A and B are shown apart, each in its own frame.
Chain A
Amino acid sequence: MLSLYHQVGHNSNWNIDSFEQDNCGDGLILSPVHQPCLRVESLSSQTKGRAFFDPQFYLPNSTKQKLQTYEFFPEVVSGGFRTTDFMAHAFESARLCIDFQISNGFDRIIIPARYFEDMEPTYIEKQEAYTLTPFLEILGSMEIDVPVYFTLPLTSNMIKSEEYRTDLLNWLTGYPEIDGLYVFSYEKRATKQVQDDEYLYQYLAFLHELKEAEFELIVGYSNTESILYSLLGDVSLTMGSFENTRMFSIDKFLVSDDERRGPRARIYLPGLLNWIQFGQAKTIMQDMPDLWRRIYSPTNYADETLAAPVDPTFNQPKLYKHYFQNFSSQIESLKPLTIEQRYNEIRDSIRTAMGNYEAIQSNAFDFERHGSMEHLQPWLDAINRYYRNFIR
């Protein structure tokens, strides 16, 4: 079944409130870099039963404070992570991590993985030694009744390389005991939306092969392009609040003293399939009310924010909760459709969004760079190509 998970991030209570109170999404992906151990353990058993825990071993020597609250985190279990020494602690770390996931009653077990920035030539060997082999060996000696997933952190270069992709596929499909994969990909880009149609197509094609190999899939760390992945059939998609939950970056696992200036607040407009700077959105609402009705799906959160005398900042929850509601509705409407119908629906939505953009722009209005329609044609190209090669 198609489902939607919250990629929990900073201010995790926004996701939890949205899930528990607004009934947005089908579950939560809990995040130790944002949630200390006690916070995770204190969630209700009902919520934990519809959540899974991403152990986030991506940067094993991370000294982020919240990660340090987990006894199994590599930096903690080995008293200061060093690649050469970790092998002595890998099984202990795996055992503690599995025990934690089982005792909390999450809906699946996640085997963590390390993140590699580039086309790491020993990716497979390292993932096996670091986590996969220890975890599978321990899980093999246990009787568990929840599915086992392996984390697959990738980069766009890995996905665009046919040889690398094939190696990954041959490797992963040699593990019949793994039920599913928690996949995500880092794409180095200067835009907030994915605009590389080749990357999107190859990612879809790669995920398709994984589906064909009978893996259940969670496609993590996605922005609104997540909607395109519904063409894969029964997969789990994700939605997040801050950008670092909508596109993967190792930066959030680094301890940094840099004061980063917060971005401007944005609002998600489903009729444009994009996040628009709040000020620009408000201008469209005021100056082009007919067009506004075509692009905006009202929620109480957004209505209140738009009516407020002071514009919001990026670190206030309402616009994210508005996004969760809007995006959940969009995914919900795709659930009953066949893949062919989803393709037609998404294609129509993209074309409609392009039409909406053009209509707005014809009224002497220009979107700033990240709010523009530049992502839409690549999205259309990617799904059309995917349709021709895999659906039709």
Chain B
Amino acid sequence: MNIYVLLKRTFDTEEKIEIENGEIIDDGAEFIINPYDEYAVEEAIQIRDEHGGEVSVVTVGDEEAEKQLRTALAMGADQAYLIEDEDIENGDEYSTQELLKAFFAEKEYDLILGGNVAVDGGSGQIGPRLADQLDIVHVTSAVDITLEGNEAKVERDVEGDQEIISVSLPALITAQQGLNEPRYPSLPGIMKAKKKPLETLDLDDLDVDEEDAEGKTKTVERFLPPEKQAGRILEGEVEGQVQELVRLLKTDAKVL
């Protein structure tokens, strides 16, 4: 079984995001494997351990992402690929899709796993986009995956309800929280990770033209959500409170 995992390096979710001149300031921030991708890595390792095969992790990013790939190798993945996207102007989901499409054109795969969404951009597009380009089925938001022969039975989370879907392989499945409990990389794992293959690929290696992978979207503005204001507690008879609330919604908040 050839299993690939799509992995992104993201901000630590505990970091406080700051914006300066329309750009996100990331110096000094801690970076991690996108938590949803970590579920995907864990699931891939478990599936490999049960059914045999190899786990390859793939990221699109800059050389700094090597650390997150090594972490996945330390958890137990067998090899890693770093696709460098630094030459692409204004990269977006489309660019990532194009690079991954070119990468997978040369590969044989039974299962591609990824995170449901990345906690930074939050688009949740890469999985479905790639499946579309590769012309394979995909299931998002998996909380349980069982493999039987050439079929995968996937339990997915649909806004709190569960849906069970059977798909035939090759398939792309994205992970939701609850799929598993990712392991800590062990010390021996960390020591071994150094010796596992990690290949860096650039646009030339993938035969992709800079212009063809240029982003399709334009960022117009970046701003932080407004700070939460202190609440107000209305007092008095319920009827009076309701009237006061309606009045405030009309005149103060101007939402009615």
A and B associate in one complex: no
Q: Which residues of A contact B (CB under 8 A)?
A: none
* Residues of chain B whose beta carbon lies under 8 Å from any beta carbon of chain A: none
